[in-house]
Amino acid sequence: MAFVLYQITDCEAKLFMHEKPLLTTTPAPIVSLPEFYAVAFNQAQRAAQHYSAATLHADRNASGLQSVFATLVSREKIRADAIAKACVEACGQPPDLKKLPAGFADLVPMQEIVDIADSRLVTPYAAWALAVRHRRRAFAFWTYVAALAAQPTISAAAERLAREALADGNLLRRERRLAWQNEHKTSEGDQGDRDMSAALLESLLRRDMLAWSQTLPPAQSEQLLLAGALAPSDDAPLGDIETPAPGELEQVKQRALRRAEQLSNIYLDDADSATDQSSLDFAQKLAAHSIWRLANLRAVAAGGPRR
């Protein structure tokens, strides 16, 4: 093979608050060229459909998101057209989705689109970073396909798609970097919690959760504190926390959720920029706990059981 599959440490779980590997299962071998093109074409089509669905959510979120997802839709449609053309050249006919194997991998799962749309902090940077992750997943997938292929023609075609995924990822990283720089331009008065240190955010989050807990019956209060991995004595005694007025409770809850998500992002950013294994392990540990906490706080806010 022209390149080597390498392990990628994924620190972009900040986008959908789940830390999981790029590929959860090893792709099954593809046994024929028509099957290969059916899989490739279907993946590009589904990606375009799922990014298109994201534009509906983008209308209700931060400015700039709709154009990001519209660009991603266009790219996937171009990719699908190119795959269809290559299939005609190689097989004499367009991709036949009846040739799809059972249980093929979805490289752009709809659930990831839904998760990022649910984020209160979703930004163009987050959308570009999700797209980068998807192309990294495509690289891993096609590299596996190339390695497992019994026919040289399938292996060569899969290697081409893997190289394309790498090139795409590099282009998308540039967009991600530009979005990050744009979103982090400092202007007084518009930074809010984003400029706060993790320690300060943790302290403020604890106080919000303790205040929130005082409005609940004892069993639900305990559930909330367990969801946030807090004990009543953490950070501040209950006597120092004012019980929110009925009209303020929703504001306290939303602020706690926003700060919990911001902390998850901070810890994942730390993992992404770690320069040694010890720092990486520590940052990932903090991130995993923070993501777990956020998931549980969301469940409590929605009235569901603690995860």
List pLDDT tens digits, range 113-130: 877 766 666 778 888 888
Question: Which CATH number characterizes residue 179's domain?
Answer: 1.20.1260.10
Instruction: Give residue-wise pLDDT tens across range 264-300.
Output: 778 877 776 777 788 878 887 887 788 778 877 877 7
Domain region containing 201: 193-301
pLDDT at 190 over 50: no
CB count in 10 Å sphere of residue 134: 24
pTM of the model: 0.57
SS3 letters for 27-49? CCCCCCHHHHHHHHHHHHHHHHH
Instruction: Give residue-wise pLDDT tens across range 85-124.
Output: 999 999 999 999 888 887 777 888 888 887 776 666 677 8
In a domain, 285, yes or no: yes
Q: Are residues 52 and 142 in the same domain?
A: yes
What does the pLDDT read at residue 49?
Answer: 92
Residue at a domain's end among 183, 206, 227: 183
Closest Cα partner for 228 from 290, 303, 185?
Answer: 290
In a domain, 3, yes or no: no
The H-assigned helical ranges of 184-217 are 198-213
Q: Are residues 174 and 208 in the same domain?
A: no
| Burial status of residue 244 (CB atoms within 10 A of its CB: 0-12, 13-18, 19 or more) | middle
Task: Return the percentage of the chain with pLDDT > 70, whole number.
Answer: 75
pLDDT at 19 over 70: no
263 band by pLDDT with thresholds 50, 70 and 90: confident
CA torsion through residues 89, 95, 96, 100, sign:
positive
pLDDT at 261 over 90: no
Looking at the structure of the chain, the number of domains it has is 2
Between 189 and 42, whose confidence is greater?
A: 42
Cβ(30)–Cβ(39) below 8 Å: yes
- Encoded amino acid at 45, one letter: Q
Q: Are residues 35 and 177 in the same domain?
A: yes
Whole-number Å distance between alpha carbons of 90 and 204: 61
Residue-by-residue DSSP string for 126-190: HHHHHHHHHHHHHHHHHHHHHHH-SSHHHHHHHHHHHHHHHHHHHHHHHHHHHHHHHHT---TTS
Residue 277's Cβ-side half-sphere holds a number of Cα atoms within 13 Å equal to 0
Residue 121's Cβ-side half-sphere holds a number of Cα atoms within 13 Å equal to 25
Cβ(128)–Cβ(172) below 8 Å: yes
What does the pLDDT read at residue 276?
Answer: 79
What does the pLDDT read at residue 24?
Answer: 62
What does the pLDDT read at residue 121?
Answer: 64
Cβ(125)–Cβ(179) below 8 Å: yes
> Span 47-64, mean pLDDT?
74
Q: Are residues 170 and 262 in the same domain?
A: no
8 band by pLDDT with thresholds 50, 70 and 90: very low
Residue at a domain's end among 118, 148, 183: 183
Between 56 and 154, whose confidence is greater?
A: 154
148 band by pLDDT with thresholds 50, 70 and 90: confident
Q: Are residues 71 and 197 in the same domain?
A: no
Q: Are residues 175 and 257 in the same domain?
A: no
In a domain, 79, yes or no: yes
Closest Cα partner for 267 from 279, 247, 284?
Answer: 284
